[in-house]
Amino acid sequence: MILKRLYLENYKQFRDPLELLPPEGAIGVVGANGAGKTTLFEAILWAFFGSRGTDARFANDSIPWSGGSASDRSAVEVTLEVGGTSYRVERSLRRGRTEARVCREPDEELVGGPSEVKRWVQEHLLGMDRTAFEATFFARQKELEFFAETTGVERRRKIAQLLGISRVEEAQKLLREDRRAAENLRRALEGVLEGTDAEALEREIPAARARRDEARSRKDAAQRELEERERELASARAEAERAEALYRSVTDLERRLDAAAAERERAGERADRLREHLGSLEEDERKARELEPRTLGLAGVEREISALEEARDRERRREMAREEMQRLRRSAHDALMEACDLLEELDGEEPPLPGWGGLFGVEDEAARLREAVRLLGEAEDARRRAELRLKDLREAAELHGRLAELRGELRQLREEREAARGELARLEREISRSSGGEPPERLLERLREEEGRLRQRAAGRRALAELEEQEARRLSQARRLIDTSHERAECPTCRRGFAAGEHAEVLETLRGQEEAARARAAEALSSSRRLEERASGLRRRMEEAGRLLERLRLLNEERRLAAARLESLDARLGPLEEKAGALRERLGPSPAPTERELEAAERELEALRRLCGARPALEGLLSSYEKDCAAAAERANEAERLSRGPAYDEAAHRRLLERRSEIERLGGILETIRERLSQRPAVEEALRRALEERRRAGERAARLREELSALDFDEGAYRRARERAGEAERRRDAARQRREEAAAELQELEHRLQTLEADLARYREHRRKADEQAALSGELSQMDRLLGEFHGALAARLRPHLQREASALISVLTDGRYSRMEFDDEYNIRLFDGLSDSYEISRFSGGEADIASLCARVALSKTISDRGPDTLGFIVLDEVFGALDTDRRRNVLLALDRLKRTFGQIFLISHVGDIQESALLDEMWLVEVDGAGKSSVRRLNAASKQVAEILQNSS
């Protein structure tokens, strides 16, 4: 399993899209501190496992580029090739929301969601969690300690999981769960069995069967008795039913006899009512003969009333005509007076029209109104002439005003043009003075490149100073340890005794090495500070060049605006001059009109407009006057015509109306009587039918009395038959009760017997299951013991193999000084030099401890990779050479060169010079950061160290 592709976008300092396609072999990742070398591989951790609660490096707010915003999307894609199949793990972050998915290429999604992807990667892709991954395949700077985050049993469990033997423990866990379940079931069944007495059940069942058989015999006897009582009841019921049928027949005849008697009585009552009705009809006939003469003469009364009503209507219309005539005469007078008042209002100091003064000499007011309407007809032409004169005067005044405004605007534009020309000349001089010498853009680029080189050199010198200072501290610590020991004591590191004079010699040698290391550190630090000061000076020059560049940009912008302003003024000046010349030519030599001339023309026009506006009102008033006079004359003629004819007599009219009402009332009474008399034949027919029905009802009642006598019904015999049937039914119910009691007893005994038999069967079944679970628990315990022995055998085989791999590596890296590495039961590291016992790694210096931890990590990673093609085939070593001297760095490189046959890819992150120049590397990536804080990667030729390609994805 190798790393096929790594893609980053907006991940920390890698702002722009970056696509890396690492080959197989050793790949060196170099660059200045802080450029982002480690960030490349921390992105793999983030893609696989997401954010980490206590680690600020993987917090959501630290993932996007610091110069961007939370709305920009951050994304990492890691593609691993496993047995010819590629799996792509994607994780992205935007606005604090994380999305993730795993795809089988080209784009078959296998799982989606941040936590789901993390779980799938741990369980299916890597077979390990974050802690195990960082303890084996990702050795980070200053974190070489073997499984630093776990201790004791947890460390042993992690290593067992990585080496594949943890599956035996998982199988043991499942077996133990099954054994606990079997044991719990057995104990539960035993608890149930403890409360059951099987021998008592076996003794009680035969007695229960005997009691059931006796109850069954009693139930059969009760059933036979019940059947006998049923037959007695059937016989008694048959006799009672015959008596009941005779009783119902008698009852029916009596009911029909009562109905016939009632019907005869109702028919008699109906005949009496009809005789009374015939008597009242004879009285009505006598009254009709008396009323008929009094209803004659209605037509003559109607004619007299009609003549009187016509006279009343004619008199009312005559009064209405007189009132309307008076109203019309008043309306005509009002219209004439309103017209005269309007003429008085229109009259002014000067006559507005020719002939207006003679109008008020006419005595007749109607003739004066007609003459005024005629004169106002000529006012419209005079108004139009006055409007044209006023319009000409106003247009001339407006043209003279516009000409004056144009002259002032032309004068202002000429002044602004001269000022714009002066400003443009000034800007040209200032730009020429500011841009002398080297172009600012070229100067700024040159200074930026020189500053980058100086800061990179300063970082290298500072790192070298740190390494030398670490070496000096290590030498000082070793010197103090040796100085505090006796000359005959053992070396505190290797436990060997000192030879004669070797104690002082070693102290002097270590002191000299320490002073030399500190001198080299001070020189490197001083050189780094000088380079930093030069870089800071260049930064100030860059800032000055930037300000100059910004000043030139502003001056050019102002020059462009000034030129545009001058061009705009020239463009506006020409049309204004042409417009002013056209106005002067149009006005000619005529002077501007005065305010007095304009006011006089406006007053004249206003007076003529009032006359024109008054004409419709005067015409309307004249028309209204003439119409009202004509209508008043018509109403006078109508009143004269209506005064002819007979007069209206109100008393005679009232008497005739009373007489007509009386005749109509008597006529209504007579009509009602005649309608009642028309019903006499129907009443006579109804009387005949009622007498016939009374006769037939009497005959039917006589026949029913004869039939009732013939039945010879005995009521006492009927009651005795009913009592015998009731007694038979009570005896039957008592027998049924005894039968039910016997059946209930039998059912209870059968249920008791069934319960006893079921309890016994349940006891036997539970006993069988408890025995089976006990046997199963024993078998599972035996299997658990065997798997434990198998797990111990596997661990006993794997730990020696891991010790052999680690011992071979440390022997090579230390030139045989330490020949063997051991692991205790909790995989704590112990070193053995072949001369004495092994010691814990805490007894050694920092450099020796880092070498031992590196060997343990690589040995474990190699053991995992040897398991098959589906395991991880790459390892990342991040700054693991910083604490090593030159010889040990060479030994590490040689050992890693041999490990390339085990690991498909080895990534070496380092700033140490001899590592960067090693022939071990098959490819080198140079990580650089620009002035904006954005990092990029360049691929260097492994042989020439020249840039071969910029690894940047434009997408």
pLDDT digits (tens, 9 = 90+) for 875-929: 788 776 666 666 666 767 766 676 666 677 888 888 666 566 666 788 888 898 8
- Cβ pair 524, 460 in contact under 8 A: no
| pLDDT for residue 157 | 67
| pLDDT for residue 78 | 94
| pLDDT for residue 103 | 94
Q: What is the pLDDT of residues 345-369, one digit of tens each?
A: 776 656 666 666 666 666 677 777 7
Question: Which stretches in the chain have pLDDT values below 50?
Answer: 144, 148, 492-495, 954-955
**Which two tokens mark 547?**
């300000």
What is d(CA 942, CA 948) in angstroms, rounded to the nearest whole number? 9
- Cβ pair 517, 469 in contact under 8 A: yes
Instruction: Work out the number of other CB atoms within 10 angstroms of the CB of residue 235.
Output: 12
| pLDDT for residue 144 | 46
Q: Going by C-beta distance under 8 Å and a sequence separation of 6 or more, which residues neighbour residue 952?
A: 16, 17, 18, 19, 936, 937
Provide DSSP, 508-559.
Answer: HHHHHHHHHHHHHHHHHHHHHHHHHHHHHHHHHHHHHHHHHHHHHHHHHHHH
| pLDDT for residue 56 | 75
Q: Which of 829, 827, 807, 830 lies closest to 819 in space, CA to CA?
A: 807
Strand pairing partners for 30? Answer: 926
C-alpha distances out from residue 855 to 121, 808, 878, Å: 27, 9, 14
Strand 25-31 relative to strand 905-909, pairing = parallel
C-alpha distances out from residue 144 to 45, 161, 208, 511, Å: 17, 20, 84, 29
